[in-house]
Amino acid sequence: MKIGDKIQGLITGIQPYGAFVDLENQTRGLIHISEIKTGFVDNIHDVLKVGQKVLVQVVDYDEFSGKASLSLRTLEEEKQSIPRRHRYTNERNKIGFAPFVQQLPIWIKESKEFLQEKKEESETK
């Protein structure tokens, strides 16, 4: 068993701080209350029951004692898709650099006028 493995288990006991699980490979583990689900868990008995079969993910494993820290929350979060961020672009219009090409003569003209004004101001001072 290693960290990240997903293993079937059977809940054998529930305490206020977490649930004990017997795993398929004869190992015992604990699902801490913070690893049961995303968000606040007021009463573990509302979420888990003794004798319930669960799929858990190994968060930590102590080879010397043979005990594992388990999580249901990581599997829950794994299922949630990350929304694609909207990019503000005109990519779907397939116009490329055409708007720049159209604007470039106007920008050049405005820049020349601005520079001419600055030159005249500096000469009068």
Q: In this predicted model, what pLDDT tens digit does every residue of 22-58 receive, in sequence order?
A: 988 788 999 999 999 888 888 899 999 999 999 999 9
Report which of residues 26 and 74 the model is more confident about.
74
- Bridge partners of 98, per DSSP, are none
- Cα separation, 35 vs 48, in Å, equals 12
pLDDT for the residue 114: 94
The amino acid occupying position 9 is: G
Give this prediction's pTM.
Answer: 0.60
CATH class of this structure's domain 6-79 = mainly beta
| pLDDT tops 70 at residue 81 | no
**Helical ranges in 1-125 per DSSP H:** 73-79, 98-124
Which value, in Å, is the radius of gyration of the alpha carbons in the chain? Answer: 31
Domain borders along the chain are 6-79, 93-118
Residue 1: the pLDDT is 80
So what's the pLDDT on residue 56? 92
84-112 pLDDT, tens digit per residue, is: 666 666 666 666 677 788 889 999 999 99
